[in-house]
């Protein structure tokens, strides 16, 4: 007889699986859960794409450095890199040399070094800004998801608990079987919010730090290249 009672208790026990909690939730909590799920998917898409992109940029940077410091003239480097500009440093370098070539053909090499330097630096800055935008694209979503997802989940939790109290009032019963499903749905929303926010914040900080270091490397290269280039021009 006791075994039959135990079987009945197990059969009557509420289902607390994630799918069951979602299906039992009302439209508001369901909307919160759907928003958080899509935010999580998009966040991981951004995280993975940015990690792969930074690895690619570091690899391309290393290859460029080997070519740049190989001892070839800037014109030879330009001819080599101009048809295969795949990384920001190559694009910055080629934009500067292209501006120099335009000045040579326009002024028959009687150009002013200071004005040439200004034009080359402006062309490099334009490319730098464009490449910065490309590298940082969609990164702000991680910051937004990391800061808002817990509050979206908390909203779902508060709404779910409100519904739980309504259920208690309607049933006039404080039995755990009446209260537990609603509270579980509510807490599921908060857990999902944290699941979205924690990886987003960690990844945002890590990727932002890597991008900042890379931008410093680009700026250092621009200054270093300008110094070397005009030192060689002054010797001619």
pLDDT digits (tens, 9 = 90+) for 114-148: 888 888 899 999 999 999 999 998 899 999 999 99
pLDDT for residue 53 is more than 60 = yes
Q: Say yes or no to pLDDT of 65 above 90.
A: no
Which range of 41-45, 104-108, 177-181 scores highest in mean pLDDT? It is: 41-45
Residue 5 confidence (pLDDT) above 50: no
C-alpha distances in Å from residue 172, one per residue of 42, 162, 166, 167, 175: 43, 15, 9, 8, 9
How far is it, in rounded angstroms, from Cα 228 to Cα 134?
Answer: 28
pLDDT classification of 8: cutoffs 50, 70, 90: very low
Among the residues of 69-112, which ranges form H helices?
74-81, 88-107
For the chain, the average pLDDT equals: 82
Q: What is the pLDDT of residue 112?
A: 72
pLDDT band for position 19 (50/70/90)?
A: low
Burial environment of residue 93 by CB neighbours within 10 A (0 to 12, 13 to 18, 19 or more): buried
Measured in residues, the chain has a length of 236
Out of 103-112, 139-148, 210-219, least confident range: 103-112
Share of the chain above pLDDT 70, in %: 80
Give whole-number Cα distances, 9 to 13, 16, 63, 185, 197, in Å.
6, 15, 67, 21, 38
Give the closest residue to 29 by CA, choosing from 179, 175, 190, 138: 190
Residue 179 confidence (pLDDT) above 80: no
User: What is the maximal distance between C-alpha atoms in the chain?
Assistant: 107
Q: Residue 107: what pLDDT?
A: 61
Q: What is the pLDDT of residue 157?
A: 85
Q: Taking residues 58-73, what's their average pLDDT?
A: 86
Q: Per-residue confidence at 22, pLDDT binned at 50, 70, 90?
A: low
pLDDT number for residue 11: 43
pLDDT tens readout for residues 154-170 = 988 888 888 777 777 77
Task: Tell me what percent of the residues of the chain surpass a pLDDT of 90.
Answer: 34
State the virtual CA torsion across 219, 220, 223, 228 in degrees, nearest 10.
-140
**Separation of alpha carbons 150 and 196, rounded Å:** 8
């Amino acid at each position: 007889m006791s075994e039959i009672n135990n079987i009945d208790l197990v059969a009557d026990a509420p289902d607390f699986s994630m799918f069951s909690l979602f299906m039992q939730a009302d439209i508001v909590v369901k909307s919160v859960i759907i928003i958080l799920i899509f935010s999580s998917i998009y966040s991981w898409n951004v995280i993975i794409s940015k990690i792969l992109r930074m690895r690619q940029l570091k690899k391309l940077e290393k290859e460029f450095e080997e070519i740049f410091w190989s001892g070839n003239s800037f014109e030879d480097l330009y001819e080599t890199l101009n048809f295969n500009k795949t990384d920001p440093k190559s694009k910055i370098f080629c934009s500067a040399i292209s501006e120099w070539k335009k000045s040579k053909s326009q002024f028959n090499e009687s150009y002013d070094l200071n004005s040439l330097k200004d034009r080359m630096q402006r062309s490099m800055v334009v490319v730098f800004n464009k490449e910065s935008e490309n590298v940082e694209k969609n990164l702000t979503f991680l910051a937004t998801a990391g800061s808002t997802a817990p509050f979206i989940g908390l909203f779902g939790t508060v709404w779910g608990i409100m519904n739980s109290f309504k259920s208690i009032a309607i049933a006039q019963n404080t039995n755990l079987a009446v209260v537990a499903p609603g509270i579980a749905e509510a807490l599921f929303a908060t857990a999902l919010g944290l699941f979205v926010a924690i990886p987003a914040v960690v990844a945002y900080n890590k990727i932002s730090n890597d991008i900042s270091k890379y931008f410093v490397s680009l700026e250092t290269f621009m200054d270093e290249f300008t110094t070397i280039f005009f030192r060689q021009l002054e010797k001619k």
